Amino acid sequence: MRLRSILFFGLLIGAAFFAQLSVLQAEPALANNRVLDLDGKGGNVELPAGVFDSFKEATIESWVKFGTQDDTRFFSYGGMLGDMCLGRTWNDKRRIQFFINTQSSGGRLDTLTVPDDIRVGRWYHVAAVCSTNGMRLHLNGVLVAKNDVPKSFHSTTNGPNNIGLKVRFDQLTSFTGDVDEFRVWKVARSTEQIRESMNTRLTGMEPGLAALWNFDDLQNPGKDATTNGYHGKLVKGAKTVEIQPTPATPFSVTRQNKVLDLDGTDGTYVELPPNMINHLTNITVEGWVRWRSFGNWTRFFDFGKTQTGSRVTQINRTRGLQLEVWNAGNIDQNTRVPNYELLLDQWNHIAVVSSIEGSKLYLNGVVAGTNRNSINESLTGTNSNATGLAAISTENRNLLGRNLWKFGEATYVTDLNGQIDEFRIWSVARSQAEIVASMNERLSGREQNLFGL
């Protein structure tokens, strides 16, 4: 983590220090990885017929990188109008859709859609869960859509099963892009379980794992790494290629950098200059953070004062995560990330984007919540609806890893025991595409509209 000296310096308080870190995702170093590479000309992996037909609950997950913005699927299972699929939606090619279609047996088409734009050329982790309790769709470890429709593999009809092709081979475009670590589980995995293993290379021996195609075997690239033997066949030009680990690839572990290390002891935090962002009407605050332990209302950052201001915080002593944007006279504006629990020692990228229209919270590049208040309003007291409490004074403190309530009102709250990296403040409200494009990059400090790094 670097502080951009031409704009502001942060003061490390207590035992805060910069630690050398070689792993962003906290995973062991890996050799170069092989992935499935498909050119959109019909290449695909043919999977065995009917192997999952009896599953009344399942989890399908994979790393995927789209090479085009076509209406293509990277997974299809079953016959026409009786199939399960993962891919881009036909009516909005910017998004990923998970559907199970039972129209061939008198049912209906049930779909879940990622509500965010998917960029070409960038890796995403996608996980779909289906069971008698309904369907769920995850992007980068975040639950983005769900329903209560009780469907799974057992709802499909006989047909071709493949990675990289739609069910009608000749009429519809095949997938262009890369796929890695494609897994099918015979259980409905929880969001927490998905996040725990999404950055881990599996062995094939994990309980509940029905099939694993990792494309690492040069002699048999379609090999199922489990003992079930559901081997696939690469056809029509499908091939595997070796990729070098970079910050944007699956299981990336190549970052060599220092991070801010906070040990959670009383008085260990970073204090940035007061009032430094009061004048910013549009702002984006983002960075990487991980907790080593969960305390009492520990903060990623806390800007303003106790009764007014903006912050991202762990909730009470739970593993919940929350954005708070408190205005004078309208202080109770909390946005909790739904269906999400923090995990110890796992890095998360958090971004807050704020303008006069309100604020958005992004978690690992995915929209996780909205808030009607803006950071500028919370710091300056400009909210036209403000009543009761006086507007905030000009002395706003800006902290990393410390709860502002620690300074008198609630000494029982705790400081962050964890690490922070690549903390950035922008003087614009960045788009989701901009956040995703740079979240895994090391910035130079010279980027346009970058206020502090």
pLDDT of residue 386: 35
Count Cβ atoms within 10 A of the Cβ of residue 276 and give its class: 0-12 exposed, 13-18 middle, 19 or more buried.
middle
Equal CATH topology for 11-24+255-452 and 33-243: yes
pLDDT digits (tens, 9 = 90+) for 259-314: 889 988 877 888 988 888 889 999 999 999 999 999 999 999 999 888 888 999 99
Q: What is the mean pLDDT of the chain?
A: 84
Asked whether the predicted pLDDT for residue 251 surpasses 80, the reply is: no
For residues 402 and 63, give the distance between their C-alpha atoms in angstroms, rounded to a whole number: 35
Give 2's pLDDT tier (boundaries 50, 70, 90): very low
pLDDT of residue 29: 34
96-101/109-113 β-pairing = antiparallel
Q: Mean pLDDT across the stretch 111-139?
A: 91
pLDDT at res. 335: 87
Residue 174 has pLDDT above 90, yes or no: no
pLDDT of 155 reads 94
Can you give the pLDDT at residue 205?
Answer: 96
Q: What is the pLDDT of residues 36-78, one digit of tens each?
A: 999 998 899 999 999 999 999 999 999 999 998 888 889 999 9
Res 172: pLDDT? 60
Average pLDDT over residues 138-145: 89
Phi, psi of 169 (to 5 degrees): -55, -45
- pLDDT score recorded for residue 104: 87
More confident site: 213 or 344: 213
Q: Give the fold, CATH level 3, of 33-243.
A: Jelly Rolls (2.60.120)
- Is the per-residue pLDDT at 360 higher than 80? yes
Residues 6+ apart with CB under 8 A from 207: none
Residue 271 CB coordination number (10 Å) = 16
Domain boundaries, the chain: 11-24+255-452, 33-243
Answer yes or no: is pLDDT of 151 > 90. Answer: yes
Give the whole-angstrom CA distance, residue 336 versus residue 346: 19
Q: Tell me the CATH number for domain 11-24+255-452.
A: 2.60.120.200
> Using 50, 70 and 90 to split pLDDT, how confident is the model at 248?
low
Q: How many CB atoms lie within 10 A of CB 122?
A: 17
